[in-house]
Structure 1
């Protein structure tokens, strides 16, 4: 048992939480498909939008293409 007053303080890691949610999104998408996911299906599951030149971009107002349209209350 610890007597450290900081014990139990906020131990969240937002980047790790985002990665866990992305993996979960991929698992759900893969489970719903009878075939392997195409690159486009993976992009949709991750919330990535592809430009005409094939580059990935985040929709306006978001900083990370993977988190576009994802829930913000983890």
Structure 2
């Protein structure tokens, strides 16, 4: 065990944090629904915008967690 108060303070994984937030968004969306989510509802929860075809086009810019509305 270390006594250094700064040990591990720089250990962050932004990609993992983003993945956790995406899973959380899906859990919230699924919990609010009384049926399985459609592909479009999943895309919306993940911030994916589709063109008129079925192929995903681009991820929207996901705002930082602290700036997102909690009851969207």
Q: Calculate the TM-score normalised by the size of structure 1.
A: 0.73
Aligned length: 66
Query: Which structure is higher in strand share?
Result: 2
CA RMSD of aligned residues (A): 2.1
Task: Compare relative contact order (CA 8 Å, sep 6+) and give the higher one, 1 or 2.
Answer: 1
Q: Distance in 1 between matches of 2:18 and 2:50?
A: 20
Q: Gaps (5+ residues) in structure 2? A: 67-72
Give TM-score, length-normalised by structure 2. Answer: 0.75
